[in-house]
């Protein structure tokens, strides 16, 4: 049996590891356009501090794959998938035959069509190459702007903040983290971050980026202008579906998969940020890891019956503990518990005896306990103490 995996992100690598766990004889190849071994993408943020080496991002060294009999083919661009003869062709003319194929091509940063966004000094963060370029370019810049007040945007701002620079986050919604926090939680987080020296422009967006040889100014939707020498766009992701779409595999915003990660074509599976399950694309490392493991089991012939994942997010900002999961604006809940002060905010939403939404900000132990209850490793009543 030949197992072929396109993409060496977390979904692809976890699938390969799980296949090998239960099948010691079949051939497993991972083919990727990346020139790097599988690395911990969420830690790219920490590289922006300047205190981390690229080698520290790599999760598994080459000997790990060799010991498991998993072949890594780096720097290979896929030209086409021949779904009839079950092979793929790379741009260097090589052909690779498969019995089972996993498409785990991930996603790319979305760059909105803002006039001037092609001027030098405008970046997105998705790869090691991006992180290197941002760190080098921003090192001597005084005015840095982040477009997007989501998790990634806030983490980038935190890691790039230095005593000698000003960092401004521009968010189109009226609050930070609109997908992870309600208004009360967002207000508390904003005030905490302001005390750290970050600046915010909310309920606004960028209409143009200006500069001759490099970025110099930003024009806002309300026609005000601000100075900026470096811009990092954090506006979400778009699944990499081109190779699947041109091969006749059904796609929507992502590659369409069923509950067993099977695509519309026999023996071809998909998982991770490129895949769409029940009209949902998660774009979360933890979900991609889970999907990769299950896709590997499915490729082995098992019925996994994936029902979807409960999305959860943790903010990786020094000395700020934040965990958010599920739907914290759930309609018709049985109970809602909240507790807040200037530096912390807790919220639990309960329906049918289960937590359907949770926020823990500024309380490290609550973050741990809320995670545990949601993952069913601790009983529900453990959260009661936080709301007495």
- 226 and 259 assigned to the same domain: no
User: How would DSSP label each residue in 28-71?
Assistant: EEEE-S-SS--B-GGGHHHHTTT---GGGGBSS-HHHHHHHTEE
Does 373 fall in a domain?
yes
d(CA 209, CA 206): 7
- 244 and 220 assigned to the same domain: no
Proportion of the chain above pLDDT 70, given as a percent: 100
How many domains is the chain built from? 3
Q: Which domain holds residue 288?
A: 2-46+54-108+238-299
Least confident of 59-63, 305-309, 317-321: 317-321
Q: Does the structure show a pLDDT above 90 at 267?
A: yes
pLDDT digits (tens, 9 = 90+) for 344-359: 999 999 988 888 899 9
- 177 and 218 assigned to the same domain: yes
Does 114 fall in a domain?
no
Q: Give the Cβ contact number of residue 124 at 10 Å.
A: 22
pTM score, whole prediction: 0.93
Bigger pLDDT: 331 vs 117: 117
Rounded to an integer, the average pLDDT of 51-59 is 93
The pLDDT of residue 318: 79
Q: Does the structure show a pLDDT above 80 at 190?
A: yes
Does 308 fall in a domain?
no
Alpha carbon distances (Å) from 225 to 201, 221, 331: 12, 9, 40
Q: End of a domain among 233, 255, 288? A: 233
Does 128 fall in a domain?
yes
- Residue 104, domain CATH: 3.50.50.60
Q: Does the structure show a pLDDT above 80 at 176?
A: yes
- 19 and 90 assigned to the same domain: yes
- 348 and 381 assigned to the same domain: yes
Q: Does the structure show a pLDDT above 90 at 127?
A: yes
Does 312 fall in a domain?
no
Among the listed residues 118, 253, 126, 236, the one whose alpha carbon sits nearest the alpha carbon of residue 171: 236
- 211 and 294 assigned to the same domain: no
Mean pLDDT (the chain) is 95
- 129 and 229 assigned to the same domain: yes
Of all residues in the chain, what percent are helix, strand and coil, respectively (each to 5)?
25, 30, 45
Q: How many residues does the chain have?
A: 388
67 Cβ contact list (under 8 Å, min separation 6) = none
pLDDT digits (tens, 9 = 90+) for 248-263: 999 999 999 999 999 9
């Amino acid at each position: 049996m030949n197992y072929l995996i396109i993409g060496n992100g977390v979904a692809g690598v976890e699938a390969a590891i799980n296949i090998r766990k239960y099948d010691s004889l079949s051939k497993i190849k991972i083919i990727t356009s990346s020139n790097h071994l599988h690395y911990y993408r969420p830690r790219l943020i920490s590289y922006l501090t300047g205190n981390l080496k690229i080698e520290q991002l790599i999760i598994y060294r080459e000997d790990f794959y060799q010991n498991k009999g998993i072949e890594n083919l780096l720097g290979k661009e896929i030209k086409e998938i021949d779904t009839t003869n079950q092979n793929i062709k790379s741009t260097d003319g090589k052909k690779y035959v498969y019995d089972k194929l996993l498409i785990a091509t991930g996603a790319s940063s979305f760059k909105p069509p803002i006039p001037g966004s092609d001027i030098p000094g405008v970046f997105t963060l998705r790869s090691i190459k991006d992180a290197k370029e941002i760190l080098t370019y921003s090192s001597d810049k005084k005015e840095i702007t982040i477009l997007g007040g989501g998790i990634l945007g806030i983490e980038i701002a935190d890691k790039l903040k230095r005593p000698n620079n000003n960092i401004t986050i521009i968010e189109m919604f009226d609050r930070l983290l609109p997908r992870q926090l309600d208004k009360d939680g967002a207000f508390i987080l904003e005030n905490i971050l302001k005390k750290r020296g970050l600046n915010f422009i909310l309920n606004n967006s960028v209409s143009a980026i200006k500069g001759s040889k490099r970025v110099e100014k930003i024009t806002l939707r309300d026609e005000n202008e601000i100075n900026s020498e470096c811009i990092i766009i954090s506006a979400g992701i778009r699944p990499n579906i081109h190779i699947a779409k041109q091969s006749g595999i059904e796609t929507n915003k992502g590659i369409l998969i069923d509950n067993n990660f099977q695509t519309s074509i026999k023996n071809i599976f998909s998982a991770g940020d490129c895949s769409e399950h029940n009209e949902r694309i998660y774009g979360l490392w933890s979900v991609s890891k889970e999907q990769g493991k299950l896709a590997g089991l499915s490729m082995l012939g098992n019925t996994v019956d994936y029902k979807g994942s409960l999305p959860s997010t943790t903010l990786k900002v020094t000395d700020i503990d934040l965990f958010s999961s599920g739907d914290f604006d759930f309609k018709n809940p049985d109970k809602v518990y909240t507790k807040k002060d200037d530096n912390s905010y807790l919220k639990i939403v309960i329906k049918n005896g289960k937590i359907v939404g949770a926020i823990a900000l500024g309380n490290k132990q609550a973050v741990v306990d809320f995670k545990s209850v949601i993952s069913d490793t601790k009983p529900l009543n453990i959260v009661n103490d936080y709301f007495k």
